[in-house]
Amino acid sequence: MPRRLETGQLITSSAVALLTLLSACSNWSPAPAAKPANILDVAVAWKQTAAEYEALYYQAYNLAQHQVEHALAQQLPGGQTLAVILDLDDTLLDTRDYWAQLLEADQDFFDDPSWDAWIPLNRVRAAPGALEFLNFCAVHGVEVFYVTSRDQGDATYQYALDQLIRLGFPYADTNHLTVLRESSNKQVRQNEIASSHKVVLLMGDNLNDFSRVYYVDNVTDRKALMRQDKALFGTRYILLPNPTDGHWIKAIFGDSEPSSSDENRRRWHDAAMGRGS
Ligand SMILES: [Mg+2]
């Protein structure tokens, strides 16, 4: 009965295949579900991985050194002491570890409490090129002033000062470090420094690090003000890249630290489509 024999063989083969499949299934576990995309993923990935991101820091600090060299060459005997003024976070301090931590916690907007908890952990590093430039300034008698806005309570100032000292930055002392806890307005301190020193340049990752003039909450107005000063960028104002935070966020949301909400995610999307204003 060849036909029945063939059928039997077929049934036996199918059973073996089924058993093999069942055996494989018993060892199978589903792949972990992919995490939904975080709206900060691209910006933070760029900060973490792009050689271009770090190259922009070298470019900024090379440019700054060029400007200082030019100022030194022009300096007259007995003239005012030259100075540079810098912001801290994302200008001379590398805060990428914070952003990785934020993503690890599945948060998709800057979060003040986690930032305030992160600062004392001392995980900031020197930004690419910053130490070399500031040491160049120190060697040539160009004073370095640090002006930052931070608020982590009573220890805020000490945290900032200790970080500068730990990383080996020059002029890390109370005469050269200003920490604004109540305001982001750096203009008052900048004017004080300018009254006693010849300020060669300012460095920051936010237009407000250069002048309070830029403190407007509107995308179009910020761009218009920036364009009026376009000749200052790369000469008196040296800007560092920051795609994760800054006053540009406030221009979109009306708040520098917008809450995590679907409404704000929709605003991100609108801004990305060129509809932010
Ligand atoms: Mg900054």
Q: pLDDT by residue (tens digit) across 163-188?
A: 999 999 999 999 999 999 999 899 99
- For 28-44, write each residue's pLDDT tens digit: 666 666 777 888 999 99
Q: Which is higher by pLDDT, 102 or 9?
A: 102
Regarding predicted confidence, which is higher, 236 or 30? 236
Domain residue extents for the chain: 41-213+233-245
Percent of the chain with pLDDT over 70: 87
* Centroid of ligand 1 to alpha carbon of 245 (angstroms): 8
Residues 41-213+233-245, CATH architecture: 3-Layer(aba) Sandwich (3.40)
Q: How many other C-beta atoms can be found within 10 angstroms of the C-beta atom of residue 217? A: 14
Residue 97 CA to ligand 1 centre (angstroms) = 15
Distance 35 CA to ligand 1 centre (A): 30
Distance CA 130, CA 91 (A): 8
The rounded Å distance from CA 134 to ligand 1 centre is: 17
What pLDDT was estimated at residue 32?
67
Query: 148 C-alpha vs ligand 1 centroid, how far in Å?
Result: 7
CA of 143 to the centre of ligand 1 (A): 20
- pTM exceeds 0.85: yes
Q: How far is the CA of 211 from the centre of ligand 1 (A)?
A: 13
123-162 pLDDT, tens digit each: 999 999 999 999 999 999 999 999 999 999 999 999 999 9
Instruction: Flag the least confident range among 26-30, 138-142, 235-239, 247-251.
Output: 26-30
Cβ–Cβ < 8 Å for 237, 205: no
Q: How far is the CA of 139 from the centre of ligand 1 (A)?
A: 25
CA-based nearest residue to 258, from 276, 241, 275, 239: 276
Task: Provide the percentage of residues in the chain whose pLDDT is more than 90.
Answer: 82
